[in-house]
Amino acid sequence: MKRPDKDSAAGARKMTRRALILGGAQAGFMGLLALRMRYMQVEEADKFRLLAEENRINIRLIPPARGEIFDRNGAPIAVNNPAYRISLTREDAGDVEEVLRRLTSLIKLTDEELERAQTELKRTQPFFPVTVADQVAWSDVTQIAVNAPALPGVTPEVGLTRTYPQGSDFAHVVGYVGPVSDYDLSKMEAPDQLLLIPRFQIGKVGVEAKLEEELRGKAGARRVEVNHVGREMRELDRREGQQGENLQLTIDANLQTYVQGRLDGESAAAVVMDVTNGDILAIGSAPSFDPNLFVRGISVSDYRALTENKYRPLAAKSVQGIYPPGSTFKMVVGLAGLDAGIIGPEDTFYCRGHLEVSGRRFHCWKGSGHGSMNLEGSLRESCDIYYYELAMQLGIEKISAMAQKLGLGDRIDLPMSAVAQGLAPTKAWKREARGEDWMIGDTVNSAIGQGFVLASPLQLTVMTARIAAGRAVQPRLIKKINGIEQPIADAPSLGLNENHLRQIRKGMFSVSNNRKGTAYGSRIIAEQYRMAGKTGTSQVRNITAKERAAGVRSNADLPWERRDHALFVNFAPYENPKVAVAVVIEHGGGGSAVAAPVARDITLQALFQGEPPLDAYPQKDRPRVQEMQKKLREYRPAAGTDAKSRA
Residues annotated as catalytic are: 327
Write down the H helix ranges in 249-329: 253-263, 291-296, 300-308, 317-320
What residues contact 66, with CB distance under 8 A and at least 6 apart?
80, 160, 162, 177, 201, 215, 216, 217, 244
Shortest distance, CB of residue 479 to another protein, whole angstroms?
Answer: 52
Residue type, 544: T
SS3 43: helix
Confirm if 66 and 174 have CB atoms less than 8 A apart.
no
Residue type, 35: L
Strands 247-249 and 69-70 turn out to be parallel
Shortest distance, CB of residue 60 to another protein, whole angstroms?
Answer: 16
**Which of 539, 516, 521, 541 lies closest to 531 in space, CA to CA?**
521
Residue type, 158: V
| Of residues 15 and 148, the one with the C-beta less far from another protein | 15
Confirm if 600 and 531 have CB atoms less than 8 A apart.
yes
Which residue among 73, 181, 193, 227 contacts another protein (CB under 8 A)? Answer: 227
Question: Rounded to an integer, what distance in angstroms lies between the CA atom of residue 629 and that of residue 106?
Answer: 45
Question: How is 201-255 classified by DSSP, letter by letter?
Answer: EEE-SHHHHHTHHHHH-B-EEEEEEE-TT--EEEEEEEE--BPPPPEEES--HHH
Which residue among 150, 188, 233, 428 contacts another protein (CB under 8 A)? Answer: 233
Strands 69-70 and 76-88 turn out to be antiparallel
Instruction: Assess 232 for contact with another protein (CB under 8 A).
Output: no
| Of residues 229 and 549, the one with the C-beta less far from another protein | 229
| Of residues 3 and 633, the one with the C-beta less far from another protein | 3
Shortest distance, CB of residue 185 to another protein, whole angstroms?
Answer: 24
Shortest distance, CB of residue 234 to another protein, whole angstroms?
Answer: 11
Question: How is 486-503 classified by DSSP, letter by letter?
Answer: PPPPP--B----HHHHHH
| Of residues 48 and 138, the one with the C-beta less far from another protein | 48
Size of the chain, expressed as the number of residues it contains: 647
Q: CB burial class (10 A; 0-12, 13-18, 19+) of residue 480?
A: middle
Binding to another protein (CB under 8 A) within 27-56 occurs at 27, 29-30, 33-34, 36-38, 40-42, 44-45, 47-49, 51-53, 55-56
Confirm if 316 and 414 have CB atoms less than 8 A apart.
no
Which residue among 7, 237, 432, 436 contacts another protein (CB under 8 A)? Answer: 7
DSSP 137: -
Confirm if 396 and 452 have CB atoms less than 8 A apart.
no
| Of residues 36 and 636, the one with the C-beta less far from another protein | 36
Shortest distance, CB of residue 53 to another protein, whole angstroms?
Answer: 8
What residues contact 601, with CB distance under 8 A and at least 6 apart?
262, 625, 628
Shortest distance, CB of residue 57 to another protein, whole angstroms?
Answer: 9
Which residue among 14, 101, 304, 631 contacts another protein (CB under 8 A)? Answer: 14
Shortest distance, CB of residue 94 to another protein, whole angstroms?
Answer: 23
| Of residues 42 and 549, the one with the C-beta less far from another protein | 42
Through-space distance between the first and last CA atoms of the chain, rounded to whole angstroms: 101
Q: What are phi and psi of 357, to 5 degrees?
A: -130, 115
| Of residues 36 and 631, the one with the C-beta less far from another protein | 36
Question: Rounded to an integer, what distance in angstroms lies between the CA atom of residue 144 and that of residue 156?
Answer: 8
Q: Near another protein by CB under 8 A, which window of 8-16, 111-119, 214-222, 389-397?
A: 8-16
- Quick note: the x/- pattern for another protein over 492-531, rule CB under 8 A, is ----------------------------------------
Shortest distance, CB of residue 80 to another protein, whole angstroms?
Answer: 36
- How many residues make contact with another protein (CB under 8 A)? 42
Binding to another protein (CB under 8 A) within 207-226 occurs at 225-226
Which residue among 158, 229, 549, 556 contacts another protein (CB under 8 A)? Answer: 229
Positive or negative: CA dihedral 377, 378, 383, 386? positive
SS3 content of the chain, % helix, strand, coil (to 5): 45, 20, 35
| Of residues 12 and 65, the one with the C-beta less far from another protein | 12
| Of residues 2 and 310, the one with the C-beta less far from another protein | 2
Shortest distance, CB of residue 16 to another protein, whole angstroms?
Answer: 6
Residues lying near another protein in the complex (CB under 8 A): 1, 3, 7-8, 10-12, 14-16, 18-19, 22-23, 26-27, 29-30, 33-34, 36-38, 40-42, 44-45, 47-49, 51-53, 55-56, 225-229, 233
